[in-house]
Amino acid sequence: MKRKSKPEKLVKQPNYPGGKKAMDEFIRTCLQYPEEAIKNKIEGAVAIEYNVDVFGKVTEAKIKHGIGYGCDEEAIRLVKLLKYEKKKYQGLHVVFHKSLIIHFHLNTALQNIEKTELKINYQITEVKKQSAETAIVYTIIPEKKK
């Protein structure tokens, strides 16, 4: 006679909204290649371990394997920006341990720098004063072309 097994209630890991592809896209768009690493032509991968609380917030991040030249600090900054989905765990305070590898490729960084253009828009407005003098005010608004 077979026994009916109860499904076990396991604590499930929090997921990044949109999955792995969305996280990779977020990291790719928010990554700011450190200038010191560009000057010294440093490339490589930074392995980072971090904790995620029940609210989906990264609470602690530390470098497991770094490459220096500002890349380690940038990896920590990026990981602390991540927001995971909130999970309910029946009143338990659960902390999840996760790890991630962030790749720093110099070719990608240099292409992004070269493609960035500065566009300046001029807006001319006239300021009316009680006296006969008139002034023209220029407002310069820099925009980055995407």
CATH code, domain carrying 25 = 3.30.2420.10
Whether residue 131 has pLDDT greater than 60: no
Whether residue 72 has pLDDT greater than 80: yes
Residue 126 falls inside a structural domain: no
pLDDT level of residue 77 (50, 70, 90 thresholds): very high
Q: How many domains does the chain have?
A: 1
DSSP sequence for the chain: -PPPPPPP-PPPPP--TTHHHHHHHHHHHH----HHHHHTT--EEEEEEEEE-TTSBEEEEEEEE---TTHHHHHHHHHHH-BPPP---TT----EEEEEEEEE-HHHHHHHHHH--EEEEEEEEEEE-SSS-EEEEEEEEEEE--
Residue 128 falls inside a structural domain: no
Residue 6 falls inside a structural domain: no
pLDDT at 94: 85
Whether residue 73 has pLDDT greater than 80: yes
Residue 143 falls inside a structural domain: no
